[in-house]
Amino acid sequence: MFNHVMVGSSDIERSKKFYDAVLAVIGAPEGAINKSATGHARVFYRHNGSAFGLSQPINNEPATYSNGGTLGFKCETPEQVIKFHDVAVAHGGTSIEDPPGPRGNGAVHLAYVRDPDGHKLCALYRAP
């Protein structure tokens, strides 16, 4: 359904370091930096037919996060969920909600973190 998701960042270099490390856990290559037509820095990650981007806000206002929004990243194993969480925290993220691990009957494993700009991320594994 989605082609890409773009979020704002108040510090592109900090965010790139965070997402380079975190998204490598799920197999995404290092982000590619470019400049928009307005001169604002952006970083793009492409993986499995989808794209995730970071951008300095083009209206020059501070970057903000979505209150009530979550960006979910698909993991291939329960262990990858834990690693996603741990790498995020080690690179400036904040662990939130319940500790990473199984939910309900164990068919779903989740981890929630906030990135350095406050965006809420979910690492999710769903058993086949």
Residue-range domains of the chain with CATH: 4-57+65-126 (3.10.180.10)
Is residue 93 over pLDDT 90? yes
In the predicted model, is pLDDT for residue 80 greater than 90? yes
Across 7-36, average pLDDT:
97
CB 8 within 8 A of CB 55: yes
Please give the model's pTM, rounded to 2 decimal places: 0.94
Summarize pLDDT for 35-52 with one digit per residue, the tens.
999 999 999 999 999 999
CB neighbours of 37 closer than 8 A, spacing ≥ 6? none
